[in-house]
Amino acid sequence: MSKRHEEETTPNIDAMFKDAEHRMKQAIEHLRQDLAGYRTGRANPALVERLLVDYYGTPTQLQQLASITVPEPRQLLIQPWDPSTVSAIEKAIQKSDLGVNPVSDGRTLRITLPPLTEERRRELIKQVHKRVEEGRVAVRNIRRDLLEHLRRLQKEKHLSEDELKRHEQQVEKLTHRYIEEADRLQAAKEAELMEV
């Protein structure tokens, strides 16, 4: 077998690791965006910007239809670029699980966030735990896929036993780094939710 042919059949392990790391980063970024949507005592545009609004029959994220600002610590101001979408945006907010009712003046919508009760804070923390665990599971699934691939390569004699062990340790370090990031996001969101 020529050297060139051997290079073509030998898998690119660096590319496999880069792909796995990219997927882990995406899982954590998705988790970060999800957690931003959990309501704390303060107004944050992330609470509503990903809500889907029926825009002429097409589900469209609110952030693509309006500017969302925070004029006061507990208030959001939504200014649609197309005033005809005010009622559709209002309906989307009412259907969401935010538990708020927007006030419309025909051109803009205001959402005033009530203070969180202790019970609601605990409920939100349970939801955060669930979401973070889903993020960890996503990272672990990526780890499992990569390990299975590496073990298959070792069976096919593309990797020695020692190389496999070294790569398995790299996979564990990579996984640990992203699991720790998920834990940091959880701790930060819990602290934010418990702030009075």
CATH number of the domain at 71, please. 3.30.1360.40
Total structural domains within the chain: 2
Query: Considering only 5-14, 32-41, 45-54, 115-124, which range has the smallest mean pLDDT?
Result: 5-14
Residues 138 and 169 in one domain: yes
Domain assignment of residue 103, given as a range: 45-112
CATH code of residue 21: 1.10.132.20
Same domain, 166 and 76: no
If asked whether residues 154 and 189 sit together in one domain, one would say: yes
Look up the pTM and report it. 0.69
Identify the pLDDT of residue 74: 83
- Residues 135 and 145: their CA atoms lie apart, in Å, by 16
Residues 123 and 73 in one domain: no
Answer yes or no: is pLDDT of 4 > 60: no
Examine the domain organization and report whether 140 and 86 are in the same domain. Answer: no
Residues 30 and 123 grouped into a single domain: yes
The residue from 66, 83, 112 where one domain ends is 112
Q: Do residues 69 and 98 share a domain?
A: yes
Model confidence pLDDT, tens digit, residues 149-181: 999 999 998 889 999 999 999 999 999 999 999
Both 99 and 81 in one domain: the answer is yes
Query: Per the structure block, which two tokens stand in for 138?
Result: 């996503």
The residue among 74, 92, 112 that closes a domain is 112
What's the pLDDT score for residue 186?
95
